[in-house]
Amino acid sequence: MDDPNHMGFRESTLPLKNDGVLKKVKDFKKRFSRKYSFKKILMGLMLVVIVGLLFTTYKINEVRTRAFLVYFGDQEIGIVREQQEALNILDEIKRDLTNTYDIDVVLNDDISFKDTHAKDDSLSSVNEIKESIKSKMTFLVTGYVLLIDNEEIAATKTKKDMEEIIEKIKKPYLEGEGNIKEAKFVENVKIEKKNIPLNKIMNKDELYKYLQTGAEEIKTHIVEVGESLWTIAKIYDMNVEDLIEANPDKNPEKLQIGDEVKLLVPKSMLTVATVEEVKYKEKVDYEVKVEYDKKMYKTEKKVKVEGSEGENEILAKVTKHNGVVVDKEILNENIIKEPIDELVVKGTKEVPRTIATGAFLMPTRGSVSSRYGMRNGRMHKGLDIAASTGTSIKAADGGKVVFAGRKGAYGNLVEIDHGNGYKTRYGHCSAINVKRGDKVYKGQVIAKVGNTGRSTGPHLHFEVIKNGGNQNPASYVR
Ligand SMILES: [Zn+2]
């Protein structure tokens, strides 16, 4: 069976001549090319080559862009060509932290990878990955937590740091004036070892400040023109009292422009209770005792025995909270010096009306016709009050009449000694109602206005003499 389509043609059983074979091949070619044209073959080959080339290019590209998405925990943090790059960065971060903080670092998360493809320009830089890890990781480090009344307040790297600061807080209160018997915290204070996020670790200065003030930073306000603590309190919706308390160094009445006003009352988180024995001296007041003397006027009083304070020495147990006394118990009281009572003597005798009161009244009614002072080149030693003849003249104050009668230019004159350094004179009288030696009371009529002596019309010439020297009567009467 000769199948023309059969590719592997068999040798004929008949011995064939060479040209016979050639003919057969030619025939075959003829038949073959009829079915598969040369063009078609060529196109097929080209297609194979193109597909091959495309596949190769793709394959080369696939291998070349092979990369890894880097995850820290479940968060994508970048793309790297080699996993080792990311692992190296993580190691470097751990090493840095260990060196800086001298502590073992416990990471909250680890790195993982996912296959991906990326061109060179979309790869993450070492720095990007580093920062990304740093921002997302929390380091749990071994530290020490301060518990105040079972509440976690602060943490430090070492127990020694914590203990040092606690002692530092206590120290100023241990230097009281007395004999400190005891110093402890009012609060329940404990230190515990714990794994803590790194950012919670405080250095000693931060811890000290924090425990002292209860805040990491105290906000302030800079005083501007026209501001006072009252207006500032209003701005921040605070009590003025709190502001004053927060600024004990400032005088609320005298704020200066540019002054820094603290807006928070620093409140210590720890209360140091100290109990000390204090010895101190205390003044003891004296009593005032009164004795009565019937020979003395009611208005008189004299100190017979001067009083003097006594002194006690006291031993007390004083309890202070952060230096402020909260309790005091007196243990012993020793008298060093007894107080001496003061003895005062008071009079009981009624004061007679003729005793000077110390204040003068205007001796008559009228108008001032001549004042005290130089007049026509001569000294006028009194005050002239013009009034019609016969008008009453009254004693300016209580006293004793030391002169009553005629005396040169004065005409009829009355002179009263008030017994307190003062004397008064009443001149030009038309009549005199008293005599020498009489005791007169303030306001008693002693004479009448007249025109006797050197006088140019009825008037009273009134003089005031203090310890022998003439005074201006206008300074005493009105
Ligand atoms: Zn006169």
Find the 384 Cα to ligand 1 centroid distance in Å: 5
Find the 387 Cα to ligand 1 centroid distance in Å: 13
Residue 31 inside a domain? The answer is no
Please check whether residues 111 and 189 belong to one and the same domain. no
Find the 179 Cα to ligand 1 centroid distance in Å: 81
- Cβ-in-10-Å burial (0-12, 13-18, 19+) of 313 comes to middle
Residue 293 inside a domain? The answer is yes
With H, G, I as helix, E, B as strand and everything else as coil, classify residue 407: coil
Residue 422: name the closest of 386, 475, 379, 371 by CA.
475
pLDDT at 7: 44
Please check whether residues 132 and 164 belong to one and the same domain. no
Number of domains in the chain: 4
What residues are neighbours of ligand 1 (ion), with CB under 5 Å? 382, 384, 461
pLDDT tier at 25, thresholds 50, 70, 90: low
pLDDT tier at 1, thresholds 50, 70, 90: very low
Find the 437 Cα to ligand 1 centroid distance in Å: 25
pLDDT digits (tens, 9 = 90+) for 45-95: 999 999 989 998 888 888 888 899 999 888 888 899 888 888 888 888 888
Report the range of poorest mean pLDDT among 20-24, 37-41, 273-277, 465-469: 20-24
Find the 429 Cα to ligand 1 centroid distance in Å: 12
Please check whether residues 223 and 322 belong to one and the same domain. no
Residue 432: name the closest of 463, 472, 395, 405 by CA.
405
Residue 154: name the closest of 98, 188, 219, 203 by CA.
203
User: Given the structure tokens 């005793």, which residue do they identify?
Assistant: 355
Find the 405 Cα to ligand 1 centroid distance in Å: 17
Q: Under 8 Å CB-to-CB from 34, ≥6 apart: which residues?
A: none
What CATH number does the domain containing 155 carry?
A: 3.10.350.10
Q: What is the mean predicted confidence (pLDDT) over 146-153?
A: 90
What CATH number does the domain containing 419 carry?
A: 2.70.70.10
Find the 220 Cα to ligand 1 centroid distance in Å: 77
C-alpha–C-alpha distance, residues 222 and 434, integer Å: 81
Residue 193 inside a domain? The answer is yes
Find the 415 Cα to ligand 1 centroid distance in Å: 15
Residue 30 inside a domain? The answer is no
pLDDT at 234: 83
**Which of 298, 317, 349 is at the close of a domain?**
349
Find the 370 Cα to ligand 1 centroid distance in Å: 7
pLDDT at 2: 43
Angle value at C-alpha 154, between 148 and 160, nearest 5 degrees: 95
pLDDT of 434 > 60? The answer is yes
pLDDT at 4: 44
Q: How far is CA 220 from CA 246, 351, 475, in A?
A: 10, 69, 61
Exposure letters 160-185 (e unless 16+ CB within 10 A, then b): ebbeebbeebeeebeebebebeebee
For the chain, what is the radius of gyration of the CA atoms?
A: 60
Residue 411: name the closest of 393, 397, 399 by CA.
393
Find the 346 Cα to ligand 1 centroid distance in Å: 43
Residue 83 belongs to what domain range? 36-137
pLDDT of 384 > 90? The answer is yes
Please check whether residues 168 and 125 belong to one and the same domain. no
pLDDT at 439: 96
Please check whether residues 250 and 149 belong to one and the same domain. yes
Find the 472 Cα to ligand 1 centroid distance in Å: 12
pLDDT digits (tens, 9 = 90+) for 34-51: 566 778 888 889 999 999
Please check whether residues 150 and 131 belong to one and the same domain. no
* Whole-prediction pTM: 0.43
Please check whether residues 220 and 313 belong to one and the same domain. no
| Most confident region among 228-242, 280-294, 316-330 by mean pLDDT | 280-294
pLDDT of 342 > 80? The answer is yes
Residue 303 inside a domain? The answer is yes
**Which of 204, 232, 262 is at the close of a domain?**
262
User: Given the structure tokens 């209003």, which residue do they identify?
Assistant: 234
Find the 426 Cα to ligand 1 centroid distance in Å: 10
Please check whether residues 154 and 246 belong to one and the same domain. yes
Find the 358 Cα to ligand 1 centroid distance in Å: 24
> Sign of the CA dihedral 379, 381, 385, 391?
negative
Find the 380 Cα to ligand 1 centroid distance in Å: 6
Report the range of poorest mean pLDDT among 64-73, 82-91, 232-241, 281-290: 232-241
pLDDT tier at 102, thresholds 50, 70, 90: low
Find the 424 Cα to ligand 1 centroid distance in Å: 13
C-alpha–C-alpha distance, residues 427 and 440, integer Å: 17
Average pLDDT, the chain: 86
Residue 314 inside a domain? The answer is yes
Residue 90 inside a domain? The answer is yes
What CATH number does the domain containing 323 carry?
A: 2.20.230.10
The token duo for 23 is: 């003919």
More confident residue, 44 or 404: 404
Please check whether residues 130 and 153 belong to one and the same domain. no
**Which of 262, 290, 316 is at the close of a domain?**
262
Find the 356 Cα to ligand 1 centroid distance in Å: 24
The token duo for 88 is: 């190296």
Find the 282 Cα to ligand 1 centroid distance in Å: 65
Residue 58 inside a domain? The answer is yes
pLDDT at 457: 94
C-alpha–C-alpha distance, residues 305 and 457, integer Å: 59
Taking the CB of residue 417, how many other CB atoms lie within 10 A of it? 16
Q: What is the mean predicted confidence (pLDDT) over 253-276?
A: 82
